Amino acid sequence: MSLNAVPFGERIHIGIFGRRNAGKSSLINAITGQRLSIVSDVKGTTTDPVQKSMELLPLGPVVLIDTPGLDDWGELGKLRIQKATQMLQKTDLALLVVDGTVGASQEDLKIFRLIKEKEIPCIIAVNKCELLPSSSVSFPEEWSKEQVIFVSALKKIHIQELKELMGTQIKSGSKNRPLVADLIEPEDYILLVIPIDKAAPKGRLILPQQQTIRDILDKGGIPILVRDKELQTALNRLETAGTPPALVITDSQIFPQVAAMVPENIPLTSFSILFARYKGNLETAAAGASVIDTLEHDDLILISEGCTHHRQCGDIGTQKLPKMLQAYTGKKLKFAFTSGTEFPSDLSPYRLIIHCGGCMLNEREMKYRQGCAKTQNIPITNYGIAIAHMKGILARSLAPFKQS
């Protein structure tokens, strides 16, 4: 991935919902001008949510989510509907596609009410308008005229108007929050410590590192990237030149080693902690880390990642964190793991949730997970904050944010 590409988690997520054969896939193809989704007269062609990243004017970078029909049946159909509904957790804008020749159904009304309950902007696209006698077709009273538009995916009628309407519904979110820019000044030297080990991807940097570098560059800062092996040399040379770094940002896995080398007068934090703040979870995550000190034998810990990367030997989530927790607490703990879009709706079995930084999750989905934990009174923290707490350097790693 290049530094100029917009990360998946930063894109506007548009969920397309509706009954089977309402024309969801056809409408996606019409909106994008591409054959992204398979179209068929056979009901239930879309069996799983399909996500596609693309540029869509006038919205810009988006993720389109084509979902299974809400009127599917049977045991497998129930699972498909559950998957479709699950997509609301990450939907920034919902597009409810209604077959105009049939009208609104109970399934349409049910999903509309769920969308409204979650305060997601919603547009109702009444499809197949070319088959209707006029556009004065009645619709439920709870649908405002402003959110209803008559379209034809087949004849490409009112597609441009639909795209323009979609553009008016998007609200700005985390994109207004800086990742690191508010902690630094133009021309500050920012030292980023990036270990290159067997867990590091070949030939590239991971997404949190890329996003942090870009935010520093946007502010006019001067990022300096080093491995942990060259950190002391870099610090010595900057000190000799009379230009010590204004901030050091490190990978969480080498937090203790970096903290031992970086003088106390130089602010220090981690990529993971930056993302906890960026995703709106810093205070909650810091409080959640204190629960580690109260863990008992057989407590079940949920370790959750937002991505589905290939896990290697020494993986931080499934191997390093559990070993750290066992060693720190001296307790025999139990662990459960989730990744990608999977996140339990029932969190009651867990004593603590330790989440990744969430760089692959959009703001809405991350807030949904945080909200689930808060509602069910289950403490939640993240990788970097948990590690900093166990290594006794959490207060130091949070200090830069108190000064901002």
Could you give the CA distance from residue 80 to residue 251 in angstroms, rounded to a whole number?
Answer: 38
Q: Tokens 């999977």 identify what position?
A: 342
Q: Give the count of domains, the chain.
A: 3
DSSP summary character for residue 132: S
Query: What phi, psi does 24 have (nearest 5°)?
Result: -60, -50
Burial 211-244 (b: 16+ CB within 10 A, else e): bbbbbbeebebbbbebebeebeebbeebeeeeeb
Residue 141 pLDDT? 84
2: confidence class by pLDDT, cuts 50, 70, 90: very low
Query: By residue range, what is the domain housing residue 371?
Result: 281-390
Q: What confidence category does residue 205 fall into, taking pLDDT thresholds of 50, 70 and 90?
A: confident
pLDDT at 147 over 70: yes
pLDDT at 8 over 60: yes
316-321: which pairs have CB atoms within 8 A and are 24 or more residues apart?
A: 316/199, 316/252, 316/253, 316/383, 317/356, 317/383, 320/253, 321/354, 321/383, 321/386, 321/387
Better-scored residue on pLDDT, 221 or 142:
221
> Same domain for 158 and 19?
yes
- In which order are the strands placed within the sheet that holds 222-226? 222-226, 189-193, 247-250, 268-270
Domain co-membership, 32 together with 158: yes
**Angstrom distance (rounded) from CA 1 to CA 204:** 8
**Which of the two residues, 300 and 19, has the higher pLDDT score?**
300
Task: Give the Cα separation of 149 and 97 in Å (integer).
Answer: 10
**Assigned token pair, 99:** 């077959």
pLDDT-based confidence at residue 403 (cuts at 50, 70, 90): low
Same domain, 191 and 237: yes
Question: What pLDDT, in 10s, does the model give residues 150-186?
Answer: 999 999 999 999 999 998 887 654 456 789 999 999 9
Beta strands in 107-211 (DSSP E): 122-127, 148-150, 189-193
Q: Specify if 396 maps to a domain.
A: no
Within 8 A by CB and 6+ apart from 168, the residues are none
The mean of the pLDDT values for the chain is 86
pTM of the model: 0.77
Q: What is the pLDDT of residue 44?
A: 45
Tell which of 233, 256, 274 closes a domain.
Answer: 274
- Give the pLDDT mean for 116-142: 84
pLDDT score, position 200: 60
Q: What was the pLDDT predicted at 176?
A: 62
DSSP string, 260-295: HHS-TTS-EEEHHHHHHHHTT-HHHHHHHHGGGGG-
Between CA 14 and CA 88 the distance in angstroms is 9
- 401 within domain boundaries: no
Per DSSP, the residues of 5-36 read SPPGGGSEEEEEEE-TTSSHHHHHHHHHTS--
Task: Let me know whether 35 and 141 are in one domain.
Answer: yes
How many angstroms separate the Cα of 112 from the Cα of each of 106, 129, 347, 370?
10, 20, 26, 24
Q: What is the mean pLDDT of residues 27-34?
A: 86
Residue 13 sits in the same domain as residue 139: yes
Is the confidence at residue 23, as pLDDT, over 80?
yes
Of 171, 193, 215, which closes a domain?
Answer: 171
Tens digits of residue pLDDT in 214-229? 999 999 999 999 999 9
Whether residue 61 lies inside any domain: the answer is yes
CATH number of the domain that residue 111 is part of: 3.40.50.300
Asked which of 146, 171, 196 is the last residue of a domain, the reply is: 171
What local confidence, expressed as pLDDT, does residue 347 receive?
A: 96
pLDDT in tens, 81-108: 788 888 888 899 999 999 998 888 888 8
Residue 201 clears pLDDT 70, i.e. is over it = no
Token pair in block for residue 216:
């520093």
**Assigned domain for 157 exists:** yes
Whether the CA torsion 112, 114, 117, 122 is positive or negative: it is: negative
Name the residue with tokens 């025999």. 332
Helix, coil or strand: residue 314: coil
Verify that 156 and 305 share a domain, yes or no. no
- Residue 73 confidence class, pLDDT cut points 50, 70, 90: low
285 and 328 share a domain? yes
Grade residue 69 by pLDDT with cuts at 50, 70 and 90. Answer: confident
At position 314, the amino acid (one-letter code) is: G
Residues paired with 13 in a beta bridge? 63
